[in-house]
Amino acid sequence: MATIEAAGALEAAFRRIGATRMAGLPLNNSALQVQAVGFRPQADGHLVGVLITPWAINLVILAASPSRELYLAPDRRHTWDFPSGSYEFMGGEEPECGAYQFCSLFSPAFEFRDHASAVETAVAVMAALYVDTEPDHAAGRDAARMAGRSMLDVPTTRRGFLQGVLGPRRA
């Protein structure tokens, strides 16, 4: 299955979930819709991208065709390494797309006033995911972050990654 078809199957699964299990829940942001953003193949044959839903935005690892290859029991986690750092993923499984793994970026996703800003953030997340960070420059990145400079200088913790993508939190 090609990347487009696999991402489409993931979207179909989450549209169904949105219309059933998640329908009417107060954690939904009505400005958002289900959309798979930036999915691309990995060297290991899996796909990675961002899934936007009205209730959460997640980084997702997906098999190129529905399977149980990525299955994780509910109490298990798996760490995936990217040029920007290592991220912990949980597992899920839906009939349309098979087993997948996800790393929560925003849950719930109330920070977004419209769907376009969520897509813009997803695109930025995918770009930042593949920025190589050199461990010996950690002190310089920390100083840059404190001075409000480039997101490329932010440490690669999940919090640092998101702060780099979104900028400092405003009161």
Q: What residue ranges do the domains of the chain occupy?
A: 3-113, 133-166
Per-residue pLDDT tens listing for the chain (171 residues): 588 999 999 999 999 999 999 999 999 999 999 999 999 999 888 999 999 999 999 999 999 888 888 999 989 999 999 999 999 999 999 999 999 999 999 999 999 999 999 999 999 999 999 987 655 555 666 666 667 665 454 445 555 555 555 555 444
SS3 label, residue 91: strand
* Cα gap 102→111, rounded to integer Å: 20
10 Å CB burial of residue 140 (0-12, 13-18, 19+) is exposed
What does CATH list as the number for 3-113? 3.30.1460.40
